[in-house]
Structures are given as structure tokens and as C-alpha cells.
Amino acid sequence: MNEQGERLQKVLAQAGMGSRREIEEWIAAGRVTVNGAVATLGMRVVEGDVVRADNKRSIRIEAHDTRLPRVLLYHKQEGEIVSRDDPEKRTSVFDKLPRLSGMKWIAIGRLDFNTSGLLIFTTSGALANRLMHPRFEVEREYAVRVQGSMTEQQMRQMLKEGITLEDGPVKFEKLMDEGGEGYNHWYRLVLKEGRNRVVRRTFEALGLPVSRLMRVRFGIVNLPPRLKRGMLAELGPGEVTAILDWVGMEVQPAVAQHADVRPGRNQADGRGQADKPGDKGVGATDKGGQKNAPAAVPRSKAGMRRGVSRSKAKTGY
């Protein structure tokens, strides 16, 4: 951390407390204090400062903290909601995550109630923003089963001019026919946006209702083949460093973080046997090179592979 400190909203965003815009609104509303005094916009914090939001959550600023953000992979099941607040009280993916002190888990992208597959969680608001913001155009890959099959003309249309939905046009970066039996047909597709239910709505617009949808990749991270439904796996330092490098982020000075790190019954703890930080053999540094970017491949204590190259991924769900 430099001598003048870091801007308050930047530090809180890195701690996963919200986006910078949200935090600026909190500061303007007097909801944030630094060392007991109400914070002001533009304020900087330095080592030893204690920041508190809404008199509930507090963090202590530490200088020269090189600890990496935590990153979890979760194999979401159908019938789970990606939200902390649900009036219907449905099962939430957040219920299964390890508890944190002074920070929170941020979901990188959402999956709707009836969609399964890869969810990534992190404690870094900056990393979440880099992976989710539309301007970074991070690829999402899905396996989808539909009732019926696409014509060659429809496939060409989706790859070239795209199709117009009520909230604008959508175009797939890749579209592969994976075959099928009977009335059901599998496709694998890649797109660079995360609009609400965009895959389902696109196929429905073509008269092909979706009967199964699964996200198998987000950026350079693949859904590990051995990560069964409802299971968690935490990436090690090598894999986290590779992701930060791929999105163009340096390791930032951070706030103190304390967490319950014991894996639960459905959680695989991969720390301790991960690749060394800075291993260039995992991930890609060229943000324009997603087409050839390998996935992060951490291992758990049992040696479980958590990621595979896309060429080895299968559609047998």
C-alpha cells in the first residue's frame, strides 16, 4: 500500500463488500466509518485503519499483504437459487459456502433455478468485476439439450448475424452439434455475455424448448469432471494467480481476512498441493487468446482433477 493509502471504495470493493458504485453510495449516505468517524468520498485508508459498514461488518487494513483472494468452484444443482434473499425460501447456493469474517463470497455470474453447472465464487470484488463486466467479453460455454434439432440455416444464422431478442441481438461465438437420441438433441455453445436466461430464450425463439442446460466453462476455468453435483472445491495459489494474470490483475494489498477453512461434507479442499504461484503453465496471459487458453487444473488431497482442457470435455451429462 502506498504512503498516501488506498481509496476507501477500492479497498472495500476488493474485500468483496460490494461494487465501487454501491460503496460510494454507502459513503455518501454516511453508512461507512473509518476509525469511528464517518467516512467521506475520496477518503484514503492506511495500515491499521479500521473500517466499518453499517456498524456491523468491520475490516482492519493491513499493509504489504500479499495473500491472494479465495476462489471456489461449485457444481450447482438444478433447484438451487443464486441469491442470498429469496421470498420463496428456496435452497440457496450460498448456504453451502464456508463462513467468512469481514468479507463475503461473490458469485461470478448467475445460473437460473433450473440450470446446473459451474459457479465460481471469490472474495475479490475486483476479480468478479473483471470476469463479469460486459466490456471484458469473457467466454461462457454451455451444454444444452433441446427438444428438436437446429437446421443448418439456423446454425449459420446464430454464428454470423445472430438472432434478435426483445432485449437486443445475441450471437454465439461457437456452436457445435453434439448429437442426440430420439426427440432430444445436444449442442455445445460459447457466448461472451451473461444476460438473464439468454441461452434458453434464444433456443425458444427458434422453436426449440430447452430441456437441460449446464454451464461447463467460464473464461479459462472448466467444470472439473470429478466435481459432482453439490460439491465445492477451492483453487490453490497457482490457479488463483493464473486467473489474476489472465484477467490482467496484479496481486493487490488486501484487508485482513479470517475464514472457516474446514471443508464440509460436500467440499473438497485443494490447498497445499496446488501449483506454485506464477506458474505460466496454467491459464493464459493474453486476454485475446481465449480460444486456446487451457483451464486451471488444481488438485485436491485425493488428487482430483478440477479442470480439463476443452478438447477433453465431454457432453455426457
Instruction: Name the residues annotated as catalytic.
Output: 112
Question: Among all chains, which residue has been given the C-alpha cell 465464487?
Answer: 121
Question: Quick one: which H or E segment has residue 153?
Answer: helix 152-159
Q: What are phi and psi of 163, to 5 degrees?
A: -130, 145
d(CA 214, CA 23): 33
Supply angle C-alpha 78, 84, 90, rounded to 5. 45
Quote the distance between the C-alpha of residue 131 and its chain's center.
7
Angle ∠(90,91,93) on CA atoms, nearest 5: 135
CB 230 within 8 A of CB 266: yes
Measured CA to CA, the distance from residue 64 to residue 5 in angstroms comes to 11
Q: By the 8 A CB rule, do 67 and 257 touch? A: yes
